[in-house]
């Protein structure tokens, strides 16, 4: 596709009014391929905004099924989808939202070998998972394949966001949490939907800025947000010289 159709010009007219946007930028989005891992509260919001913005190919990975307890914060699903695979329910909703996109469902918990096969040709990975083993495998795969990674997390009243290009020596998730253990799940620590939505909206915004190559994506900086007290902080990630992932080949 070398130019937008009249229907696409109308669909994306609001974002095309931005001074940083034009038809070539919209085509850049339409030609982009993004892997979203985890279709919980974060992944649902991220996928919806990327589909709405016109990211042409979304790969959706999750091995879980919709449950009743998901519905307060996982906004792609309704009571009618309880029991369905999340990837199938999400694909149906996203294609209803924007039928011209390619949506590839992956009903699996992706391992490191899976990721290494999938990542060539992917422009960006969005980590919206909720367990340490998945996050560390995603981190390692993105390092090895040199694919940018934007990771979001939310639990209790706390949210965090981290954008990484770890092959540039800026550090990685392994550096941040060298002895990482799984934190309590949302059902154990509690969560409010708007807190998840705030993190997911920021994750989607950084993703679109990266794909469009505009603005500051804050690669290598950790953003933390306290939803109870309305406080936020930011720190620059430092590479751990002993990191077995991103420092192993730098010496």
Q: Given pLDDT bands bounded at 50, 70 and 90, which one contains residue 23? A: very high
In a domain, 26, yes or no: no
For the stretch 180-186, contacts whose Cβ atoms lie closer than 8 Å and that sit 24 or more positions apart, written own/partner, are 180/132, 180/135, 180/136, 181/132, 182/131, 182/132, 182/133, 183/132, 183/155, 184/155, 185/130, 185/155, 186/40, 186/41, 186/73, 186/130, 186/154, 186/155
Range of the domain at 218: 32-236
Number of domains observed in the structure of the chain:
1
For 5-17, the pLDDT digits (tens) are: 999 999 999 999 9
For 40-82, the pLDDT digits (tens) are: 999 999 999 999 999 999 999 999 999 999 999 999 999 999 9
Q: Given pLDDT bands bounded at 50, 70 and 90, which one contains residue 176? A: confident
In a domain, 18, yes or no: no
- Which is it for strands 149-155 and 158-164: parallel, antiparallel or unpaired? antiparallel
Q: Which residues of 182-201 are buried (b: 16+ CB within 10 A; e: fewer)?
A: ebeebeeeebbeebbbbbbe
In a domain, 244, yes or no: no
| pLDDT value of residue 188 | 65
Q: Which residue has the tokens 């696409």?
A: 8
| CATH number of the domain bearing residue 194 | 3.40.50.720
In a domain, 47, yes or no: yes
- SS3 category, 9: helix
Across the range 116-125, mean pLDDT stands at: 97
Sheet with 149-155, strands from edge to edge, namely 102-106, 57-61, 33-37, 124-127, 149-155, 158-164, 221-226, 231-236
In a domain, 185, yes or no: yes
Contacts of 54 (CB under 8 A, 6+ apart): 8, 11, 12, 26, 29, 30, 98, 101
Residue 185 clears pLDDT 60, i.e. is over it? no
In a domain, 241, yes or no: no
Residue 250 clears pLDDT 50, i.e. is over it? no
For 190-248, the pLDDT digits (tens) are: 889 999 999 999 999 999 999 999 999 989 999 999 999 999 999 999 999 999 999 86
246 and 175 Cβ atoms separated by less than 8 Å? yes
- Mean pLDDT, the chain, integer: 93
| pLDDT value of residue 166 | 87
In a domain, 157, yes or no: yes
In a domain, 105, yes or no: yes
């Amino acid at each position: 596709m070398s130019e937008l159709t009249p229907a696409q010009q109308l669909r994306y007219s609001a974002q095309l009014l931005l001074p940083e946007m034009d038809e070539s930028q919209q085509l850049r989005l339409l030609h982009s391929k993004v892997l979203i891992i985890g279709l919980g509260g974060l992944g649902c919001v991220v996928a919806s905004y990327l589909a709405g913005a016109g990211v042409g190919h979304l790969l959706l990975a999750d091995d879980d099924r919709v449950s009743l307890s998901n519905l307060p914060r996982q906004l792609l699903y309704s009571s009618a989808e309880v029991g369905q695979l999340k990837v199938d329910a999400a694909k149906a909703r996203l294609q209803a939202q924007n039928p011209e996109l390619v949506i590839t469902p992956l009903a699996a918990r992706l391992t490191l070998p899976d990721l290494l096969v999938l990542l060539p040709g992917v422009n960006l990975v969005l980590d919206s998972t909720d367990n340490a083993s998945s996050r560390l495998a995603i981190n390692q795969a993105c390092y090895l394949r040199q694919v940018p990674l934007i990771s979001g997390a939310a639990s209790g009243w706390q949210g965090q966001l981290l954008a990484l290009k770890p092959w540039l020596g800026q550090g990685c998730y392994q550096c941040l949490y060298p002895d990482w253990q799984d934190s309590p799940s949302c059902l154990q620590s509690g969560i409010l939907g708007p807190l998840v939505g705030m993190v997911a909206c920021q994750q989607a915004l950084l993703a679109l800025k990266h794909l469009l190559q505009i603005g500051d994506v804050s690669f290598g900086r950790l953003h933390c947000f306290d939803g109870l007290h309305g406080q936020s902080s930011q720190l620059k990630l430092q590479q751990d010289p002993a990191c077995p992932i991103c420092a192993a080949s730098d010496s």
